């Protein structure tokens, strides 16, 4: 049974005339008749009673007609849905990102994407790079913004560098400035400072702790275990200092003193990752393009 045969059958059933049905479906009448006969052979039953000037449905034809109409309607719905997705009028993008990127990089890009494609739903999942890589691998995300190098290298993922971002030290303006008030401080200057530290599994925690230990000391934590907003709030309250991305510090700068890190400083590389074996959906590819061109 062919889809085209069902189209011809419905046209004849509705017009009760082979020639007029052929005009409706834009095919020669002999071709239409041949396809109807082929459909009847396939089904093993006549669908029409043919008499001069009088075409009526048989019992088999009456049974097939609502089913054929439903199949044709479902096919039209499927075509419409696919066209909507192809033309970026509907659909979804599942994007994972570290909390600091949700605060710093994403708001402006997502606003521009939403303005251009208001019918696309954006589903955002926050997490550390390790968790996001796992979610990508199991197909729960289309794209993820992760910090390089990946915690566990994965040949099943493709990564494209998005940006390299400097880290800075933030502190409360009401507290003594880190490093004695110099315009830039080095990582060794953080020895003796009380740090407000992120929770375990946070990329920034691992990077900061590793840098302090490379400088010859273990950091002293005033508070630990927070997410980005909590860490910034604790710093504003004067509980300690924190090392955060420059983009976050600039966006959340109210009530914060921002001190650059002296060369060589600290930086992190942000990449956009997706599975190598599955092409991201069209909407996800468009968001990927906007992130890379921001």
How confident is the model at residue 164, as a pLDDT? Answer: 92
For the chain, the average pLDDT equals 91
Question: Out of 38-42, 215-219, 290-294, which region has the weakest mean confidence (pLDDT)?
Answer: 290-294
What are the two backbone dihedrals, phi and then psi, of residue 255, each rounded to the nearest 5 degrees? 80, 15
In this prediction, residue 179 has a pLDDT band, given cuts at 50, 70 and 90, of confident
**CB neighbourhood size of 264 (10 A):** 8
204 close to 169: Cβ distance less than 8 angstroms: no
DSSP string, 80-145: HHHHHHHTTSSEEEEEEE-HHHHHHTHHHHHHHHHHH-TTEEEEEEE--HHHHHHHHHTTS-SEEE
How confident is the model at residue 44, as a pLDDT? Answer: 95
DSSP string, 15-68: HS-HHHHHHHHTS-HHHHHHHHHHHHHHHTS--EEEETTEEEE-HHHHHHHHHH
How confident is the model at residue 153, as a pLDDT? Answer: 67
In this prediction, residue 102 has a pLDDT band, given cuts at 50, 70 and 90, of confident
How confident is the model at residue 151, as a pLDDT? Answer: 67
In this prediction, residue 289 has a pLDDT band, given cuts at 50, 70 and 90, of very high
Average pLDDT over residues 154-180: 91
C-alpha angle 204-210-216 in degrees, rounded to nearest 5: 140
What are the two backbone dihedrals, phi and then psi, of residue 210, each rounded to the nearest 5 degrees? -65, -40
Distance, CA of 249 to CA of 25 (rounded, Å)? 64
240 close to 223: Cβ distance less than 8 angstroms: yes
pLDDT at residue 63 above 90?
yes
96 close to 127: Cβ distance less than 8 angstroms: yes
How confident is the model at residue 66, as a pLDDT? Answer: 94
pLDDT in tens, 219-274: 999 999 888 889 999 999 999 999 999 988 988 878 899 999 998 889 999 999 99
């Amino acid at each position: 049974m062919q889809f085209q045969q069902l189209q011809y059958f419905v046209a004849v059933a509705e017009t009760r005339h082979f020639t007029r049905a052929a005009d409706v479906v834009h095919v020669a009448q002999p071709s239409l008749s041949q396809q109807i006969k082929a459909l009847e052979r396939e089904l093993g039953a006549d669908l029409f009673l043919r008499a001069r000037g009088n075409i009526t449905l048989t019992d088999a034809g009456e049974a097939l007609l609502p089913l054929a109409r439903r199949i044709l309607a479902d096919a039209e719905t499927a075509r419409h849905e696919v066209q909507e997705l192809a033309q970026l009028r509907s659909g979804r993008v599942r994007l994972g990102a570290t909390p600091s990127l949700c605060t710093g990089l994403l708001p402006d890009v997502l606003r521009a994407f939403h303005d251009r494609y208001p019918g696309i739903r954006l589903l955002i999942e926050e997490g550390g790079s390790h968790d996001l890589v796992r979610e990508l691998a199991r197909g729960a995300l289309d794209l993820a913004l992760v910090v390089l190098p990946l915690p566990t290298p994965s040949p099943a993922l493709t990564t494209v560098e998005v940006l390299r971002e400097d880290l800075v030290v933030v502190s409360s303006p009401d507290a003594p400035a880190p490093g004695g008030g110099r315009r830039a401080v080095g990582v060794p200057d953080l020895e003796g400072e009380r740090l407000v530290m992120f929770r375990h599994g946070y990329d920034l925690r691992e990077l900061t702790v590793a840098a302090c230990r490379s400088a010859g000391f273990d950091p002293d934590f005033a508070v630990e275990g927070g997410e980005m907003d909590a860490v910034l709030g604790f710093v504003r309250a004067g509980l300690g200092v924190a090392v955060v991305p420059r983009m976050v510090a600039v966006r959340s700068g109210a009530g914060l003193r921002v001190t650059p890190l002296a060369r060589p400083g600290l930086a992190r590389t942000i990449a956009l990752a997706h599975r190598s074996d599955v092409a991201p959906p069209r909407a996800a590819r468009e968001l990927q393009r906007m992130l890379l061109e921001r």
